[in-house]
Amino acid sequence: KNQVEQSPQSLIILEGKNCTLQCNYTVSPFSNLRWYKQDTGRGPVSLTIMTFSENTKSNGRYTATLDADTKQSSLHITASQLSDSASYICVVSAQGGGGADGLTFGKGTHLIIQP
Amino acid sequence: DGGITQSPKYLFRKEGQNVTLSCEQNLNHDAMYWYRQDPGQGLRLIYYSQIVNDFQKGDIAEGYSVSREKKESFPLTVTSAQKNPTAFYLCASSIAQDRVYEQYFGPGTRLTVT
């Protein structure tokens, strides 16, 4: 069964600090991996999409890494800001399987930035 | 929220009543989706549509119905047969129903049934 596990479940850090969120997956065959940011009560917004051949992708202060061999991804946030407080969702796309749309969603990491 | 609107933002209904959630997009996307989000769980797919007048069941379609009469619109009806309808509902769209295409999400509708 295709699965996406995210850790930690929740994280609290001080403003200005860096943090790293983890995503492990068992989705196969792999197509791509996405990180979304979801503010409370809002829809998810895409941060990055990574295919098999991409190891690192950046979007401002967000940097995602992908190790397709170990089936792990991380999202690193640099110099955190209060506006980074949100849930971060890892989504893995399969070439076949997963949900009916081929996507398997993680449960998300809830990040809180404290001033 | 990128050109996808959902209304209303909050919806309250009595148990036993059907309710319809609206989703409209102006992105000229062919594919549209409905997801349900519950606390502590990942998004779960309810229905999706690849093209006008066509739609397929997702992983948790029981108790829900949809229509796709126009490319821009994909309304979701939560029927009285849905045993636990209280949840946050998200609509999304993509250029086509292919796993390589990015999905754009609407702002969501929070439905409370009492």
CB contact under 8 A, A44 and B105: yes
In this complex, is the C-beta atom of A87 within 8 Å of any C-beta atom belonging to chain B? no
Phi and psi for A106 in degrees, rounded to 5? -80, 170
User: Does residue A98 register a pLDDT over 60?
Assistant: no
In angstroms, the CA A66 to CA B88 distance is 30
DSSP symbols for chain B: -TTEEEE-SEEEE-TT--EEEEEEE-S--SEEEEEEE-TTS--EEEEEEEETTEEEE-TT-TTEEE--SBTTB--EEE-TT-S---EEEEEEEESSS-TTSPPEE---EEEEE-
| CB contacts < 8 A (A, B) | 67
Q: What is the pLDDT of residue B99?
A: 62
- Locate the chain A residue with the closest alpha carbon to B92: A43
CB contact under 8 A, B4 and A43: yes
Q: Which of A35, A59, A101 to mutate to test the interface with B (most CBs of B within 10 A)?
A: A101
**Residue B62 structure tokens:** 């029981």
User: Does residue A81 register a pLDDT over 70?
Assistant: yes
Range from A59-68, A100-109, B84-93 carrying the lowest mean pLDDT:
A100-109
Pick from B42, B90, B110: CB nearest A107: B42
From chain A, the residues in CB contact with B108 under 8 A are 41-43
- Locate the chain B residue with the closest alpha carbon to A109: B40
Residue (of B80, B96, B37, B10) closest to A107 by Cα position: B37
User: Does residue A92 register a pLDDT over 50?
Assistant: yes
Per the model's pLDDT, the better-predicted residue between B77 and A28 turns out to be: B77
- Could you read off the pLDDT of B8-53 as tens digits, one per residue? 999 999 999 999 999 999 999 999 999 999 988 889 999 999 899 9
**Residue B54 structure tokens:** 């066509």
**Average pLDDT of chain B to the nearest whole number:** 92
User: Does residue B106 register a pLDDT over 70?
Assistant: yes
**Average pLDDT of chain A to the nearest whole number:** 92
Per the model's pLDDT, the better-predicted residue between A51 and A99 turns out to be: A51
Q: What is the pLDDT of residue B1?
A: 47
Q: What is the pLDDT of residue B98?
A: 65
CB contact under 8 A, B58 and A41: no
